[in-house]
Every structure is written in structure tokens, then in C-alpha cells.
Amino acid sequence: MSFFNKIFVGSVLLILGFSTVSLADESAKLVVEGQPMITRVKAPSHMENVDEIRSGWTFRIKETQSLQMDDFENPGMIFVDKGLDLWNKVEGSKNKACASCHDDASEFKGLRTVMPRWNESANALWSLEDHVNNCRTEQMGAEPLKWGAAPMDSLIAVISLQSRGMPMNVKIDGAVAPLWEIGKELFYTRVGQLDMACSNCHEDNYGIMIRADHLSQGQINGFPAYRLKNAKLNSIHARFKGCMKNIRATPYKVGGDEFRALELYVASRGNGLSSEAPSVRN
């Protein structure tokens, strides 16, 4: 990053409410229900500017960190319970529920760690939301769920929970390679009235305080995540949308091509970190 760019971004952060006070216990270890999580690991080889990747959990204050370490205390688990109710709910013209075909959600162990991924039959990049809606429309004869809505996010939380503790391993070669490059370009492209890119906060300036929030690396291995700020479960694309609004940019469409490509790229930046969903964030 050039000296001029550092000065420019620093000025913007000052406008937004920059502070150098760090409140996170960066040496803490994340253990959830007795299961150790990988929250720090050597950066993937495709990351050129970061040596070590860190879970967003390592940037949170002690009180927030502790919420994620106990399923009884984790407010995100409320949505898992709601998701399990939906899992067993009979819907659609075929009079089926998710459980009619899949029975226990544990059969999806490992799926969250490789998402998003290329779907050969659909000839498209799929997120977990696509799997959910494909099952609903094709197998249940039910209406698709809206991306980012509570029912969808709750079901995604159920599926994601099955992979908790497993390392992220998103593929970036083959058919998804061109889309990964698009996602990378989006990550480094300045947009909005503040003329900022994802990288300005989550690569160039992670570790500092802004608006009483400790800037993280923007990892998404913990999504869907319960945010204390809005007291609900938040999807990956909803967080992307929120970030774009923060820099006064017009957000891309949730579930659209741009956010799909960005999800692929950002997910790959977390390869090696444990899947944590549902995590707890500010």
C-alpha cells in the first residue's frame, strides 16, 4: 500500500471514528463445548499480503468471545432450534420436510467447509442457500426461501453447525477459477462515496478500532453469525451488503453474481480456519 493511500485511508478512518484502543484478548483460545477451534493459521498461498489469517473471534472482547464458547449462552443457537423446527416441517405439494429425505442433518457434515462450490448439474457457483432452495422446489414442491431472511438463515445455521470445528477448504481452481478472480477484483476495488475497498479495512488496517469496533480480517468462516448489534442471525451476503452501506456504496444484489463471486474469494481467504457457525460477533 502506497504512502499516499495509507494517509488517505487513515483520514477516512478518522472520519468514521478511529481509535487505537484494543479491547480484544488476542491470546485467547476458542474452545466450544470442549472442541478446540483453529482461530489462527498460516495464510493460504494465494494470499499475497497477509502472513497469518485470524478468525473474527480473536478480535472480539472477552465478553463476546465467551458467548461463543458455550452453546447455552450462544444466542445464535436459538436460530438453530428454529431451523430444526423448519427442518421437520412438512411443506409443499409433495407433502415433505427436509427430514423426509435427509433425516438427520449430520449427513451434511463437512459441507459448510467447501462452500461455495461449483455445481456441475446447474453449471453454476452454488452457495448453501442454493442447496436449500433446490431441495425445497424440486423435492418438496415448496416455495423457495428468501436469501437473508430468518427462515433461510436458520436452516443454513443447522447445516453449518454440522461442520463446526472442521477446517475450511474452499476450492478455487477448475470451473470456479474465473469467478474467484472476479471476487478478488471486487475485494480490492474501491467503491462508494468514501472510495474504499474491502481490503482497506480487512487487509490494510485490521486490528485497529473504528466506531468502537475492532476491525477484523473480514473472515466468513463463522457465518451465519449472530451479531449483537442487530440481535439476529446474519448471512454472508447480508454482511457484505452492510459493509457496502458503511462506505456509502450501492450494495450489489444479495444472491447476485457479484456477491457470489465475492463470497467465493473471501471464503478462500479463510482456508485452514475452523468453521465456527453460528458464531457471535459485535
Separation in Å, CA 137 to CA 27, 94, 109, 133, 142 = 46, 10, 23, 6, 5
Closest CA to 226 of 76, 78, 81: 76
Q: Which of 101, 198, 201, 243 is catalytic?
A: 243
Kindly calculate the radius of gyration of the chain based on its CA atoms and give it in whole angstroms. 19
H runs (alpha helix) in the chain: 3-16, 62-68, 76-87, 98-102, 128-134, 150-161, 177-188, 198-202, 236-246, 257-268
DSSP code at position 112: G
In this structure, what C-alpha cell is assigned to residue 147? 436469501
Contact 55, 30 (CB under 8 A): yes
**Known active-site residue 243:** yes
Which residues on adjacent β-strands are paired with residue 225? 234, 279
- Report the C-alpha gap between 79 and 153 in whole angstroms: 8
Separation in Å, CA 134 to CA 23, 34, 121, 131, 180 = 43, 35, 12, 5, 23
Contact 12, 248 (CB under 8 A): no
**Is the bond into 75 cis (omega within 30 degrees of 0)?**
no
DSSP code at position 107: G
**Strand, coil or helix: 16:** helix
Catalytic residues: 243
